[in-house]
Amino acid sequence: MNLEHSEDGIVQRVRAMNERVVSFQEQGLYFYNQAVSELRGGARVLVNGREMGMFASYSYLGLIGHKRINKAAIEAIERYGTGTHGVRTLAGTLTIHRQLEETIAEFKGAEDAVTYTSGYATNLTVVSTLLGRNDYVISDKLNHASIVDGCLMSGAKFLRFKHNDMNSLEERLKSVPQGATKLVIADSVFSMDGDIIDFPRMVALCQKYQAWLMIDEAHSVGVLGKRGTGIEEHFNMPGTIDFKMGTLSKTIPSVGGYVAGKKELIRYLRHASRAYIFSAALPPAQAAAANEAFKVILDEPWRVEKLGANARQFIHGLRNRGFNTLKTETAIVPVVCGTDEAAFAMTQAAQRQDVFVLPVVSPAVPPGLSRLRATVTAAHEPAEIEHAMNVIEAAGRKIGLLDGRV
Span interacting with ligand PLP, options 44-52, 115-123, 159-167, 294-302, rule CB under 6 A: 115-123
Q: Are 59 and 250 in contact (CB under 8 A)?
A: yes
Span interacting with ligand PLP, options 76-84, 117-125, 151-159, 271-279, rule CB under 6 A: 117-125
Q: Are 157 and 182 in contact (CB under 8 A)?
A: no
| One residue of 57, 84, 103, 118 binding ligand PLP per CB under 6 A | 118
Contact flag: residue 115 with ligand PLP (CB under 6 A): no
Contact flag: residue 116 with ligand PLP (CB under 6 A): no
CA gap 80, 313 in Å, rounded: 44
Q: Are 391 and 348 in contact (CB under 8 A)?
A: no
Q: Are 366 and 190 in contact (CB under 8 A)?
A: no
Q: Could you say which of 118, 191, 254, 273 is catalytic?
A: 191
Contact flag: residue 172 with ligand PLP (CB under 6 A): no
CA gap 214, 236 in Å, rounded: 17
| Sequence-ordered list of residues with C-beta below 8 angstroms from that of 157, at least 6 positions apart, any chain | 135, 136, 137
By C-beta, is 112 or 140 nearer to ligand PLP?
140
User: What is the smallest separation between the CB atom of 16 and ligand PLP, expressed in angstroms?
Assistant: 27
By C-beta, is 144 or 234 nearer to ligand PLP?
144
| One residue of 230, 257, 283, 396 binding ligand PLP per CB under 6 A | 257
Residue nearest to ligand PLP (CB): 119
By C-beta, is 45 or 215 nearer to ligand PLP?
215
Span interacting with ligand PLP, options 41-49, 216-224, 233-241, 307-315, rule CB under 6 A: 216-224
Known catalytic residue: 191? Answer: yes
Q: Could you say which of 182, 219, 306, 380 is catalytic?
A: 219
Single out the residue of 167, 174, 237, 229 nearest to residue 203, CA to CA. Answer: 237
CA gap 180, 134 in Å, rounded: 8
User: What is the smallest separation between the CB atom of 246 and ligand PLP, expressed in angstroms?
Assistant: 8
Helix (H) or strand (E) run with residue 219 in it: none
Q: Are 302 and 99 in contact (CB under 8 A)?
A: no
Parallel, antiparallel or unpaired: strands 44-47 and 50-54: antiparallel
By C-beta, is 184 or 349 nearer to ligand PLP?
184
CA gap 221, 225 in Å, rounded: 8
Residues 176-215 close enough to bind ligand PLP by CB under 6 A: 187, 191
User: What is the smallest separation between the CB atom of 144 and ligand PLP, expressed in angstroms?
Assistant: 3
Known catalytic residue: 250? Answer: yes
Q: Are 393 and 314 in contact (CB under 8 A)?
A: no
By C-beta, is 361 or 406 nearer to ligand PLP?
361
By C-beta, is 186 or 401 nearer to ligand PLP?
186
Alpha-carbon distance values, 340 to 17, 223, 358, 367, 405 (Å): 16, 29, 12, 8, 15
CA gap 203, 133 in Å, rounded: 25
CA gap 202, 369 in Å, rounded: 26
Contact flag: residue 247 with ligand PLP (CB under 6 A): yes
CA gap 252, 78 in Å, rounded: 21
| One residue of 53, 119, 317, 334 binding ligand PLP per CB under 6 A | 119
Question: Mask 125-164, x = binds ligand PLP (CB under 6 A)?
Answer: -------------------x-x------------------
Known catalytic residue: 295? Answer: no
By C-beta, is 357 or 395 nearer to ligand PLP?
357
Q: Which residues are catalytic?
A: 191, 219, 250
| Chain contacts with ligand PLP (rule: CB under 6 A) | 118-120, 123, 144, 146, 187, 191, 216, 218-219, 247, 249, 257
